[in-house]
Structure 1
Amino acid sequence: MVQEQIKESVLKVVSPDSLVGSFESLLEEVGVSEKISTYLSVVIFSILVLIIAKVAHFIVRRYLVKHVERFMEKTKSKYDDYFVKRKLIIRASYIVPALIIYTSLDLVFVQFDHVNAVLHNLVSLYFIVVALLLIDSFLKGVGDVYETLPNSNERPIKGYLQGIYLVFVLIGVLVTVSILLDVKLTVVFTGLGAIAAVLILVFKDTILGFVASIQLTANSMVKPGDWIEMPSHKSDGTVMEMTLNTVKVQNWDKTISTIPTYALVSESFKNWKGMEESGGRRIKRSINIDMKSVKFCDDKMLGKFRKIKVLKDYIEDKLEELEEYNKQFDIDESILVNGRRMTNLGVFRKYLEGYLHNHPKIHQNMTFLVRHLQPTEKGIPIEIYVFSNDQAWANYESIQADIFDHILAVLPEFELTVFQFPTEKLSATMMEEV
């Protein structure tokens, strides 16, 4: 019985009414009017609460937060360092002053119900903002931890994390509306159906981007580090970042292009990942031979070709084959059109095959072709269709250039010439264009 009486006495002493009332009574005793004492007590208590909140936040930020961060940095695990980097602990400290202010409102504004209610709502909104900041830091920390995993590039989750954060933001907005309008959250959700069409219109790109992120990741269509080419958006370069709404591409000229995420699903693009993973890069280029320079090989030419290392065995075997064939069918070889004969173009094609087979920069286990294309008014194209074993752009271009430098230099040895417009015809063509 005595304990209960003591407890009631203590509650009366520390209750808001007794504290504010005692302070007001003290002011009235020194000659301050009742109305002024009421307002003056509110101002003084407000300043006191703000000072306490500021000091509490300073102490927590200066000592508690620093000690917690140092402890996390010294642990063996490196994962918690990412949450420190994302300021998760610092943002958590923002709750302390808000808690002090929130619990003090009933004490300070006990006689001002309307102001008390407004301030309660404002502090509640502050709590929502801090909660969203904490969720943002936590999700970004999770993303940083995930990127340390070996297969993180294969399955990026940044779009998913942004989608999750967007859901929390929407919930925060709905709670804010509920607080400001002083209605139940269930009523807000009920009314949400009426504006669903407007929300879909407003967040159309976000919704499309979220769905596209899932499709791109699930089907391994593209990931950061891939080289993609998308002419419709004038993009040709390396994917830097994939977010909920955009994909950043650094083009080869060092400019940055941003492509809507859903465009990579709705439109076509070329991903060079297959080439990079294959170990080779295609060389597909042709040179036009003047058809007037194509002719049968005579003994003098064959004698010269026998001295070429990559052709020696081919010439010997081919001559034996042709001799047996012509004897079998009793061919009169005094007439050139009779029987089978070697041409300088055919021997040149075989030379190219041997040259490329012995080239150290040509991939020997991938598609390998040296072929004739359809003759045109510009001559007969000889196409090189092979793969280099060096994929670096500068090296790849150098390999191509070296091969075709050699081809142009060696053509006269086979008494072949490259087709090009005569100077007079070229001049006339240019005049017509002018």
Structure 2
Amino acid sequence: MTNSSNLTTREKVEKSMAKRRAAETRFRVYGMASILFGLLCLVVLFGDILSKGTSAFRQTVIEQSVFLDADYLGLNPQSSFKEIRAANFEGLIKRHLKKAYEPKGRKNRRALYGMVSAGASWQLMEAVQQNPELLGTELAITLLADDAVDQWFKHDRERGYDEQFNEFQLTVLNQWIDEGKLHTRFNKLFFTNGDSREPELAGIHGAIKGTLLTLLVTFLLSFPIGVAAAIYLEEFAPRNRFTELVEININNLAAVPSITFGLLGLAIFINIFGVARSTPLVGGLVLTLMTLPTIIISGRAAIKAVPPSIREAAFGLGASKMQVVFHHVLPLALPGMLTGAIIGMAQALGETAPLLMIGMIAFVVDVPGFVNDPSTVLPVQIFLWSDSPERAFTERTSGAIIVLLGFLILMNTAAVWLRRRLERRW
């Protein structure tokens, strides 16, 4: 009877253990499935961005030999910079195209002229500015193609999508392809130009410089203030209700929607202090407010991670409170503080909503020279291009996203490297 009872108990235990093992196995499977699903979503997202954005780094150009008629332009090798800028290079290109391809009718002429970018005249002007001796000679130059030609040559030609061109345009395009005059090259204008209404001329140079200036202002303000606040709260502040209230509000500010900081910047920095809109200065001030809670929280965590024995040893040798904090605790906590600051900067780099509230959504063509010049930033530039109707802006939007992701990956890699390089293990 006893053996039968023991056997029944063992069976119950083994059955219970089997259920427990099955539950653990299911949990592992669910966890792996969720991770794989998340990775799959990332692969699909990045794959879509890369497939649409890599073509933004290539630009279609047209090889032409244009005669620089000095009489038509009204120029000579001694002409001033102002005179060269005022010359009719656009008309010279139209005259060259009309003579080379003989379009019949006004409609075909306009269609032919529209196949070359509006920036082609600037290419000729810059060539003459650099070497006025070219006047009166035939210049072999690669002219920028219009965005419609660019999209057709890179994407639609092999699919047979020719509806956007008339018969005369298709004849000229096929002639250029047969003669090897139509090809793509690296789109350096994407990295050297500011924004433009013409997709083939639009670039991210102004947005990149505006982003760097904005982040510079943010770092110079948020890091010293955040570190000082973290040191005071962790080492010097008395433990009372006021300190607890401050700590609670700092933790709450880290979860406040970012657009709230944009409203705060609009109300205080612009309306009260009169800081100019759409500048890296006001953008940096707003992003400083947003990143301060992150830097303070990470700074306090880094200070807490310093072993108490370091403080006790310093006090035992007769060091003052100030010496203990700044000579021993702060150097050991600095790697963690820098890591938190870089992560805060990376978060600020991807913000758009607070900057929209302070006017950084403006269309700015010129590249900013300093923190008080009108500018935009990469996330806002992406937002502006994504709302443009031209197809060519779609690939430039994805191309700018690739550059932005590159910056984010670089900053996060720097944070990991700094932490591993500078931190000390006890």
Which structure is higher in helix share? 2
Instruction: Tell me the TM-score normalized by structure 2.
Output: 0.21
Q: Work out which structure has the larger RCO, using CA pairs closer than 8 Å and 6 or more positions apart in sequence.
A: 2
Which structure is higher in strand share? 1
Instruction: Tell me the TM-score normalized by structure 1.
Output: 0.21
Q: Choose 1 or 2 for highest CA Rg.
A: 1
